[in-house]
Amino acid sequence: MPMTFATMTLSGLLMVAASSGVPSLDTRPTCAGAESDGLTSRTVAGCMQSEQQARDELASKWTNFPATDRHECVAQTGIGGYPSYVQVLVCLELARDARKMPKDY
């Protein structure tokens, strides 16, 4: 499957962001629909606060995660166009925890 130039460029930017430090994500689109879903009591402000807390936690733990996991998790959060620090953090924690599971499980 051929990759477009835009896809290759975005992937390269995400790889640089993943390797150099916690990336800067625009989480406003992610939180914009927080009040509009009608199913939860989340607010845009609460969503943004959760994203900031996740970013702060990522900043303190970033170098503890393998570079390949950082790259993969940052790339995955860009799929669909709604980036999230919470999603990156959960992805990294799941990858870490999966490595700790017994091999025969």
- Residue pair 75/14 in contact (Cβ under 8 Å)? The answer is yes
Within-domain flag for 13:
no
Within-domain flag for 15:
no
Within-domain flag for 16:
no
Any idea which residue has 């919470």 for tokens?
Answer: 86
Give 44-58 pLDDT, tens digit per residue: 899 999 999 999 999
Domain of residue 54: give its range: 25-100
Q: Which amino acid is at 22?
A: V
Give 68-103 pLDDT, tens digit per residue: 999 999 999 988 878 999 999 999 999 999 998 888
What global pTM score does this model have?
0.74
